């Protein structure tokens, strides 16, 4: 009777432990991997985002050439890959810091002084050649052209579209909840630990059974995380992402796959822990059973 009641209690606690392990894994990966700036920054290199932005900007500047009368070559220096990469990195760092609540505002910055000078020189040359007065209208045209070029470059470098998300008020909403992600992850991990201890306590007369139940919970939770994430990775499910603008597509899907990969790693670690639990459990339990049988035979 006592064994039956401890079995039922263990099943209930294990069931709860499974859900806690799944939640803790997702919360942990979300807080310590997804919200970590290093994750999207690693994608800048792995997905060659600077090259993608460069190609996109080259196309844009070439298209604008006949409307603005400004040769695309004027921007060539400013949109070199090595100059774009720091801007992309700064945009990502600024966006993620703002998202996590570490920064008060989303304000990416970049040094465009060389580009500004090139535009001024071009306008000056144009004005002298075409006898244009350098009046307020002339200065306004320079200001608008500089502003437009800078906005175009900054917008292309904003690969995660933080600007648009911020304008739509989405980041503000997310900022209300995201700072709690760390606390949620820690609480869930503490709850996992508590339930593991409870399982050992319930099986205090057969402590190795605590290992069995914990291992079972770990195995099931890991399988429930592993199967869908492996399917996502295998079918390249995130390739259906709607926004097909090259750099945004590569950045977002790369980021999502990176998080999926981390969940797979976490699930595999969970399976490893489960196997280890079983490996310890089997001989200890067999040994106990052997001793119990021997003792009973003696009496």
Partner 1 sequence: MAEQTTKRRGNVLPYLLTPLLLLLLTAGVLMLCYYLAPTHQIQKYLNIVFMDDLKTTNQTAGLNIIEHGDIPMGSMPEGETYEEGRIIYPTFGEQYAQLEIDSISLSVGVYYGVNPELLERGACHSSQSAIIGETGNAVIDAHVNTFFSDLNRVKKGDTVRLFTKYGAFDYKVTDLIEFSKDEKQYLASGKDQEVLTLYTCKPQVIGSSDMRIGVRCKPVKKQFYEQAADAEGGTE
Among 75, 96, 112, 123, contact with partner 1 (rule: CB under 8 A): 123
C-alpha–C-alpha distance, residues 119 and 116, integer Å: 5
Q: What's 134's DSSP letter?
A: -
Residue 23 as a binder of partner 1 (CB under 8 A): the answer is: no
> Residue 259, exposed/middle/buried by CB under 10 A (0-12, 13-18, 19+)?
middle
Site for partner 1 contains 244 (CB under 8 A):
yes
What dihedral angle (degrees, nearest 10) is formed by the CA atoms of 174, 151, 104, 186? 40
Nearer to partner 1, 103 or 226 (CB): 226
Q: Scanning residues 194 to 223, which ones bind partner 1 (CB under 8 A)?
A: 212, 216-217, 219-221, 223
**Binding of partner 1 by 66 (CB under 8 A):** yes
Angle between helix axes 207-235 and 246-298 (nearest 10 degrees) is: 160
Asked if 264 and 222 count as a contact pair (C-beta separation under 8 A), the reply is no
Is residue 131 at the binding interface for partner 1, with CB under 8 A as the rule?
no
Give the closest residue to 119 by CA, choosing from 84, 87, 148, 151: 148
- Establish if 19 lies at the interface with partner 1 (CB under 8 A): yes
Pick one of 5, 45, 144, 276: the residue that binds partner 1 (CB under 8 A).
Answer: 144
Of 38, 45, 69, 275, which lies in the binding site for partner 1, with binding defined by CB under 8 A? 69
Do the Cβ atoms of 27 and 188 come closer than 8 Å?
Answer: yes
Joined tokens for residue 101: 């609540």
Of 32, 126, 200, 230, the residue at the interface with partner 1 (CB under 8 A) is 126
Using CB under 8 A, pick the residue from 37, 97, 237, 280 that binds partner 1.
237
Which x/- pattern over 275-294 shows residues binding partner 1 (rule: CB under 8 A)?
A: --------------x-----
Q: Which two tokens stand for residue 131?
A: 């006898």
Q: Smaller CB distance to partner 1: residue 67 or 113?
A: 67
Of 173, 241, 275, 276, the residue at the interface with partner 1 (CB under 8 A) is 241
Q: Under the criterion CB under 8 A, does residue 26 sit at the interface with partner 1?
A: no
| Unique residue bearing structure tokens 């709607």 | 242
Residue 37 · residue 97 · CB < 8 Å = yes
Instruction: Give the 3-state secondary structure of residue 48.
Output: coil
Residues forming the site for partner 1 (CB under 8 A): 11, 14-15, 18-19, 56, 59-60, 63-64, 66-70, 123, 126, 141-142, 144-145, 147-149, 212, 216-217, 219-221, 223-224, 236-246, 249-250, 253, 289
């Amino acid at each position: 009777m006592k064994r039956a009641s401890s079995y039922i209690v263990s099943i209930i606690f294990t069931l709860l432990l499974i859900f806690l392990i799944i939640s803790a894994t997702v919360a942990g990966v979300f807080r310590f991997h997804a919200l970590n700036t290093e994750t999207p920054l690693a994608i800048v290199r792995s997905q060659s985002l600077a090259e993608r932005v460069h190609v996109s900007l080259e196309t844009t500047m070439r298209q604008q050439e006949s409307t603005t009368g400004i040769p695309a070559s004027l921007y060539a220096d400013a949109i070199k890959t090595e100059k774009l990469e720091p801007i992309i990195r700064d945009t990502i760092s600024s966006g993620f810091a703002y998202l996590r609540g570490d920064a008060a505002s989303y304000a990416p910055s970049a040094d465009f002084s060389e580009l500004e000078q090139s535009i001024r020189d071009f306008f000056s040359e144009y004005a002298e050649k075409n006898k244009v007065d350098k009046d307020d209208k002339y200065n306004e045209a320079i200001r608008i052209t500089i502003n437009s070029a800078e906005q175009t470059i900054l917008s292309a470098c904003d690969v995660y579209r933080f600007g648009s998300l911020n304008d739509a008020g989405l980041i503000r909403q997310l900022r209300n909840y995201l700072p709690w992600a760390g606390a949620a992850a820690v609480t869930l991990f503490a709850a996992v630990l508590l339930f593991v201890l409870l399982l050992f306590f319930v099986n205090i007369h057969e402590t190795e059974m605590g290992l069995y139940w914990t291992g079972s919970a770990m195995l099931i939770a890991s399988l429930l995380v592993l199967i869908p994430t492996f399917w996502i990775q295998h079918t390249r499910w995130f390739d259906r992402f709607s926004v097909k603008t090259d750099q945004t597509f590569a950045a977002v899907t790369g980021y999502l796959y990176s998080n999926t990969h981390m969940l797979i790693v976490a699930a595999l670690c969970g399976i490893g822990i489960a196997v280890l639990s079983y490996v310890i459990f089997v001989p200890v339990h067999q040994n106990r059973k052997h001793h119990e049988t021997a003792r009973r035979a003696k009496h």
